[in-house]
């Protein structure tokens, strides 16, 4: 399925039904009185956070969504039926903004969360409502209220614990395929990743985290160069960034240090908060470096890059060093989750049972 992370839709809640003017007509009841019922409420438009969806592609081909209007009131004290509601299923992580003003209206963060994005109009009053001691035969009624109509922009920010950064062909797709259930396209040419890939990494029973691989960044990405700039926003919700560096570039003229510095510069230009997230250095493709040169090459890179944070040496292809990295990531993510949510409540029956940039 094609990955779509942005869509524009028009929604319209149902209008309320009109009230009714009616009088009771029965044999031997000359003055039966008013019996016109109210109109029904218009249908609402809901948004549901569906954890089974990971793209907004459905809204690319279906832009207009309308709820049913309420039925009109009828005689014999019969009120109109409410219009049918509609529910739009969206991926978890969808941000809903007003397409005209740019104001953020809603954000779907919890699986199964339901919010009302357009309210149906109330039904109008029938003449039964206007009956009083001094107005025994009212002929007033009111029309139904119009439902809300909105032009919305849907934007998807994937919910991942860990985000992968790096130049094209740094080995990010190989890494995510090696440690998770994701199966991205892998090839020996740049820009094989054209859309974000999500993978669940399982460390043990009930121990897992989600990692996101975005298209490779190039210098100038924050201004729109290359592909990755479209997806930098997907990293804004991650708890940890892994900066993957190709230590064995195919061209000897390519300097890994210069490439790594360019990535950091693009992060800072795009978003200071994103730049300030915890970031670890992952030196990849060391299987292609002669064993006797590895230590010296890693030491030289760290020195010239002026890096003081955690450094991991791996080969995503042979999976060397990946297991230790995965376990360290899980410990970091789990610690952050506990710090954010507080200690988990323990069932009484079973009681007793950070790196710096």
Report if residue 99 sits inside a domain: yes
CA–CA distance, 128 with 117 (Å, rounded to integer): 32
Examine the domain organization and report whether 18 and 79 are in the same domain: yes
Tell whether 114 and 187 lie within a shared domain: no
Closest Cα to residue 261, out of 286, 243, 241, 236? 243
Domain boundary among 107, 135, 156: 156
Burial of residue 107 (number of CB atoms within 10 Å: 0-12, 13-18, 19+)? middle
Give the span between the Cα atoms of 83 and 265, in whole angstroms: 54
Does residue 93 form part of some domain? Answer: yes
Do 169 and 281 have their domain in common? yes
133 shares its domain with 186 = no
What is the number of domains present in the chain? 2
Domain interval for residue 73? 6-156
The answer to whether residues 176 and 108 belong to one domain is no
- For residue 66, the model assigns a pLDDT of 94
CA gap 279, 260 in Å, rounded:
12
If asked whether residues 17 and 123 sit together in one domain, one would say: yes
Task: Examine residue 350 and state whether it is found in any structural domain, yes or no.
Answer: no
With 0-12 / 13-18 / 19 or more C-beta atoms within 10 angstroms meaning exposed / middle / buried, residue 41 is buried
pLDDT recorded at residue 350: 37
Residues 151, 18 share a domain: yes
Q: To the nearest 5 percent, what fractions of the chain are helix, strand and coil?
A: 25, 25, 50
Domain assignment of residue 331, yes or no: yes
CA 253, distance to chain mean position in Å, is 40
pLDDT tens, N- to C-terminus, the chain (357 residues): 345 578 899 999 999 999 999 988 777 777 778 889 999 999 999 999 988 877 787 888 889 999 999 999 998 889 999 999 999 999 888 999 999 998 999 999 888 999 999 999 999 999 988 988 888 889 899 999 999 999 999 988 777 788 888 887 778 888 888 887 656 445 444 444 455 677 778 887 777 888 887 765 545 444 444 444 556 766 777 888 889 888 887 777 788 888 888 888 877 887 787 788 888 999 988 888 888 888 898 999 999 988 888 899 988 888 888 889 989 998 888 887 777 655 544 444 434 444 333
Report yes or no on whether pTM surpasses 0.85.
no
Q: Is 260 part of any domain? A: yes
Q: What is the CATH number of the domain that holds 91?
A: 2.70.210.12
Within this chain, do residues 195 and 307 fall inside the same structural domain, yes or no?
A: yes
The answer to whether the CB of 163 falls within 8 A of the CB of 235 is yes
35 and 114 housed in the same domain: yes
Measured CA to CA, the distance from residue 334 to residue 161 in angstroms comes to 10
Same domain, 135 and 182: no
């Amino acid at each position: 399925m094609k990955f779509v992370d942005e869509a524009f839709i028009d929604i319209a809640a149902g209008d309320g039904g009109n009230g009714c003017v009616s009088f009771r007509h029965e044999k031997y009841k000359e003055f039966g009185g008013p019996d016109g019922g109210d109109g029904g409420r218009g249908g609402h438009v809901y948004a549901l956070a569906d954890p089974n969806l990971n793209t907004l592609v459905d809204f690319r081909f279906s832009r207009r969504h309308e709820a049913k209007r309420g039925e009109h009131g009828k005689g014999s004290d019969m009120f109109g039926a409410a219009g049918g509601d509609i529910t739009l299923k969206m991926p978890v992580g969808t941000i809903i903004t007003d397409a005209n003003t740019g104001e953020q209206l809603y954000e779907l963060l919890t699986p199964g969360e339901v919010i009302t994005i357009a309210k149906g109009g109330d039904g109008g009053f029938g003449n039964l409502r206007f009956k009083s001691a001094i107005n025994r035969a009212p002929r007033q009624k009111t029309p139904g209220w119009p439902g809300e109509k909105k032009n919305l922009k849907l934007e998807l920010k994937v919910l991942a614990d860990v985000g992968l950064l790096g130049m094209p062909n740094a080995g990010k797709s190989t890494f995510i395929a090696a440690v998770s259930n994701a199966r991205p396209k892998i090839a020996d040419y740049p820009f094989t990743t054209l859309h974000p890939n999500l993978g669940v990494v399982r460390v043990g029973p009930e121990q897992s985290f989600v990692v996101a691989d975005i298209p490779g960044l190039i210098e100038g990405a924050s201004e729109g160069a290359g592909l990755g700039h479209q997806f930098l926003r997907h990293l804004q919700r991650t708890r940890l960034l892994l900066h993957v560096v190709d230590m064995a570039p195919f061209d000897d003229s390519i300097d890994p240090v210069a490439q790594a510095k360019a990535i950091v510069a693009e992060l800072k230009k795009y978003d200071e908060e994103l730049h300030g997230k915890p970031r670890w250095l992952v030196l990849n493709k060391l299987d292609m470096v002669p064993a006797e040169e590895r230590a010296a090459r890693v030491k030289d890179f760290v020195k010239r890059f002026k890096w003081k944070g955690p450094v991991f040496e791996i080969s995503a292809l042979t999976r060397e060093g990946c297991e230790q990295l995965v376990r360290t990531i899980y410990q970091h993510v789990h610690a952050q989750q506990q710090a954010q949510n507080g200690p988990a409540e323990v069932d009484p029956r079973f009681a007793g049972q950070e790196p710096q940039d």
